[in-house]
Structure 1
Amino acid sequence: MLLSNFFDNLSSFASEGSNWVFFVFALMAISGAIFMISYTKVVHMVVSLALTFISLAGLYILLEAEFVAVVQVLIYAGAISILMIFGIMLTKHRGEEVEAQRPLHNILLIIGSVALLGVLFYAIQTADFPDAGKFNPGDDNTAEIGKLLFNVHVIPFELISVLLTVALIGAIVIAKREEE
């Protein structure tokens, strides 16, 4: 009974194109994260992180959160990745020794990852989600976010801009001290 229910859910999942797109973006995000922690060269790590950020933007598009997806690409995939690359280029790196490969560690990592995937898949398949038809996100998410940001939440928005300016000035002061 449980096995036939599993295959029925799997076939209904595979029949929709948006689920396949979700699967591709999720696989890209997970792969980018795994590559990020697996690579030894820092530039390769940043590129893997950018892949994860871009695939998360794709997932936001699927959730009809276009504003968050654009911000994800602009801020994280663009600005943060470039900032990390500049930080890498401007700092001195000593030759770090890479430890020997541990095949048992890699095998246990793969087994743990597959087990986690199985547990998550089972939990999602047996969960009782509310009806998605009741949710109406509105016609224009970006306009609604703008109204909330500049009318209701204008004080926290301005405080964040002051905080970012202070952080930028602090980073410049610290960089000047190290230069001298």
Structure 2
Amino acid sequence: MLENFIDFLSNGENLLFIIFSMLVIVGAVFLINLQRVVHMVIALATTFISLAGLYVMLDAEFLAFVQVLIYAGAMTILMIFGIMMTKHEKQNEEPKRALHNVLLLVGSIGFFIILYLAIQDAVFPIQEFTSNEENTKMIGIELFTWHVIPFELVSVLLTVAFIGAIIVAKREED
């Protein structure tokens, strides 16, 4: 079993996959367990950027670009603005939960071991994968030929939401 794991890690792509997937999991766990909102935003950005790395490994460069641009960039900045515009008073810190943290660590390690053993015993059929070199071009062709009406409806919906946000902000200002 240890030899299989060492063989698995000898490939650079597998090692990169392990690093990105662990960053996604750790960022998600930190997002749930952290107390301060700013730290949560950093954990969320780490998760989004790691997901973009996984998309690059899957030859989905357009999806990775959108992941970084929309989620890691815009959503994180939006959350930071939300933090800056709301009042945050210092709250009393909760007592440390040492037993809870130890049980969480033991449960996470056990879950990882169970998943690792299940994946090692699984038999996946070998399929030939052909990556399209013009991935972004194919997305554009599909989007503007077969899916043009939903695309335009989403743009109208986003425009209406933007105008509504401006109206709500103006009312609060008055």
Cα distance 1:108–1:179, how it changes in 2: closer, same or farther (>3 A)?
A: farther
Question: 1:56: how far off?
Answer: 0.9
Select which of 76, 97, 102 maps to 2:97: 102
TM-score by length of 1: 0.88
Select which of 27, 47, 50 maps to 1:52: 47
Q: Which residue is 1:131 aligned to? A: 126
Q: Which stretch shows the higher mean deviation, 67-76 or 169-178?
A: 169-178
Aligned AA (2:153)? L
Count the aligned residue pairs. 174
Q: Which residue is 1:71 aligned to? A: 66
TM-score by length of 2: 0.90
Q: Which residue is 1:29 aligned to? A: 24
Question: 1:159: how far off?
Answer: 1.2
Aligned AA (1:91)? T
Cα distance 1:131–1:41, how it changes in 2: closer, same or farther (>3 A)?
A: same
Partner SS for 2:79: helix
- Structure-2 separation of matches of 1:120 and 1:144: 35
Q: Which residue is 1:18 aligned to? A: 13
Q: Which residue is 2:166 aligned to? A: 172
Cα distance 1:176–1:92, how it changes in 2: closer, same or farther (>3 A)?
A: farther
Aligned AA (2:11)? E
Unaligned segments of structure 2, at least 5 residues: none
Post-superposition CA distance 1:81-103 (Å, at most 9, x none): 01110111112223333321111
| Superposition RMSD in Å | 1.7
Question: 1:52: how far off?
Answer: 1.1
Question: 1:79: how far off?
Answer: 0.6
- Structure-2 separation of matches of 1:48 and 1:149: 32
Partner SS for 1:139: coil
Cα distance 1:96–1:167, how it changes in 2: closer, same or farther (>3 A)?
A: farther
Question: 1:8: how far off?
Answer: 4.2
Aligned AA (1:153)? H
1:40 aligns with 2:35: yes
Unaligned segments of structure 1, at least 5 residues: 1-5
Aligned AA (1:35)? F
Question: 1:109: how far off?
Answer: 0.6
Q: Which stretch shows the higher mean deviation, 22-31 or 32-41?
A: 32-41
